[in-house]
Amino acid sequence: MTDKTSKKLTEVEGIKARSNYLRGTLVQSLADSTTGSLAEDDAQLSKLHGFYQQDDRDIRSERTRQKLEPDFSFLIRIRVPGGIASPAQWIALDELSRKYANSSLRLTTRQAFQFHGVRKVNLKTTIAEINKCLLDTIAACGDVNRNVMCTPLAEKSEVHKGAYDLAIALSAHLTPQTSAYSEIWLDGKKQGKTPDVEPIYGKTYLPRKFKIGVAIPPSNDVDIFSQDLGFIAVEEKGKLVGFNVAVGGGMGMTHGEPETYPRVADVIGFCLPEKAVEVAEQVVCVQRDFGDRTNRKHARIKYTIDDGGLDWFNTELSERLGYSLEAPHPYKFTTRGDQFGWSKNTQGKWDLTLFIPEGRISNNAQQNLLDGFRDIAKLNIGDFRLTANQNLVIAGIGDEERKPVEKILQKSGIGKAQNISLLRKDMLACVALPTCGLAMAEAERYAPELSAKIAALLETHGLANEPVSLRITGCPNGCARPYLADIGLVGKAPGRYSLFLGGSSDGRRLNKLADENVGEPEILKILDDLFVRFIAERETNENMGDFFDRVVVSQAQSDNAQLQATEAG
């Protein structure tokens, strides 16, 4: 292990330690009407309560010119473990989005909801109302376990139900216990005589964010290898017999800093269903105790594992558990995308999976998603399932209820908008501009245009039916998991991206950097050439991701050989 003891802890560690279990001076910050922002320390603490301070970047420089403070507003993230929300919850969120946010609901890449554009003065009411509908925001962001991901179709089989139940149990077990949340946002009761305790986290919580997913093979919809901790359901004769355990995934990196990198998780063993929560707790505790609290860019569990080695990690985990995990059971992933359209579930009801462009539920010129889904929720017939691919399933619809749903879909334009390219339907894009403070380039707003151009290229080459995953993010943090896509675009500067190629359909292989700092014309040219080569050179049954991997790797090898030859000469 690297020695972190002599180094100074990060500022965020001090803020958490001083915060009295996440209180800080949030109450005073909220009451300060002289600014739309929070005090600096509170802006850090707010994340653990599920909201982020942002400002409208489209008008940032104009406001600076006018000597005005930035146009502050807040993102609120609402946890939905396993992604299932009731019609009543949908209606409540819809109303809040219209009243206090920017009249949009964002379905995130981790199956949560986000509001954007909430003003400081409305934070308390909005968070209280969210809790009234039995959802919450605590631990949606910050240095704790985040929204737990899982295929939301819990009725699909006994195994799906078991996996979903685990997601709920993990989420509940790892939710912070501090009474600060209810004190500040809900009933306002002050901390009692007994001080708060965080039995799992302690008073400085985790060194960094922590993410858990539960996958059910053959679908790897939750991108299990991108999670800090993953549970892979193991089925035998239709029964859930346990979970393979994967640790050490993570996507974030920084351009030009090779010591930061995306990493896929290692499968370290197998546990029985009844042991999964205690395994998760102990993995979290190893990370709590050994994660690097001196450098936030090196604080995720992927670095803890790489620093100590997987053997060290496994020994540490076994010692804490009091037993070793069994050897992993065989498993195979074949897909990651959503299956669109109507399908009948095991309860004899219908599920309808709908493509939601970039996960943004709003009314726009093409379709009235916000109005349409509110009308469907008002029918009170099926519930709402958020997928890991930013899409939505209306689940549990009876035979005779299909017609009214179809009618609303047609009227709102949602139905018509489903007829788009395969590439587009499988695409992921992060939020980026104008709200994300870290964005270096566009993602959500550019995704429709870019995907249309790439889809047109595929069409020209007769490849429109070829499955290709395209993911774009506005910066290297990787919020749309771009390093696992066949084509990953990672923002570097306005209109400029790093191009990564060659993910695998099982989500196990990271793609590789093919070109840096390229704009749209270069991106389209590179892809056009590669599509031509794909047709000419693809091996039997080779898919686009595998082909790209082969081409990029061999290109890198030949570049390397050339370089060595030049140096030797």
Active site residues: 77, 146, 209, 211, 430, 436, 475, 479
CB of residue 403 to ligand SRM, shortest distance in Å: 33
Prior bond to 218 cis, omega within 30? yes
Q: Is residue 474 near ligand SF4 by the rule CB under 6 A?
A: yes
DSSP string, 396-454: EE-GGGHHHHHHHHHHHTTTGGG---HHHHT-EE---TTT-TT-SS-STTTHHHHHHHH
Place of tokens 């707790």: 281
Which residues pair with residue 409 across a beta bridge? Answer: none
- Partner in contact with 211, chosen from ligand SF4, ligand SRM, none, beta carbon below 5 to 8 Å by kind: ligand SRM
CB of residue 359 to ligand SRM, shortest distance in Å: 6
DSSP string, 453-504: HHHHHHHHTT-TTS---EEEESSTT-TT-GGGSSEEEEEEETTEEEEEE---
Task: Work out which of 43, 439, 447, 454 binds ligand SF4, going by CB under 6 A.
Answer: 439
Which residues pair with residue 216 across a beta bridge? Answer: 219
Q: How big is the chain, counted in residues? A: 569
Q: Is residue 447 near ligand SRM by the rule CB under 6 A?
A: no
- Partner in contact with 501, chosen from ligand SF4, ligand SRM, none, beta carbon below 5 to 8 Å by kind: none
Q: Is residue 493 near ligand SF4 by the rule CB under 6 A?
A: no
Stretch that binds ligand SRM, among 109-117, 272-280, 306-314, 515-523 (CB under 6 A): 109-117
CA distance 506 to 218: 9
Return the percent helix, strand and coil in the chain, to nearest 5: 40, 20, 40
To the nearest 10 degrees (0 to 180), the angle between helices 87-100 and 369-379 is 140
- Partner in contact with 408, chosen from ligand SF4, ligand SRM, none, beta carbon below 5 to 8 Å by kind: none
Task: Work out which of 16, 23, 49, 77 binds ligand SRM, going by CB under 6 A.
Answer: 77
Binding mask 398-437 for ligand SF4 (x = CB under 6 A): --------------------------------xxx---x-
**CA distance to 26, 104, 147, 434, per residue, from 75 (Å):** 16, 12, 16, 12
CB of residue 466 to ligand SF4, shortest distance in Å: 26
Q: What is the largest CA-CA distance in the chain?
A: 77
Nearer of residues 57 and 119 to ligand SF4, judged by Cβ: 57
Task: Work out which of 122, 151, 435, 505 binds ligand SRM, going by CB under 6 A.
Answer: 435
Task: Count CB neighbours of 460 within 10 A.
Answer: 11
Tell me phi and psi for residue 514, to 5 degrees.
Answer: -100, -35
How many residues touch ligand SRM under the rule CB under 6 A: the total is 30
Q: Is residue 475 near ligand SF4 by the rule CB under 6 A?
A: yes
Residues lying near ligand SRM in the complex (CB under 6 A)? 52, 54, 75, 77, 108-110, 112, 114, 146-147, 209, 211, 226, 250-252, 300, 359, 430-431, 435-438, 477-481
Binding site for ligand SF4 (CB under 6 A): 430-432, 436, 438-439, 443, 473-475, 477-479
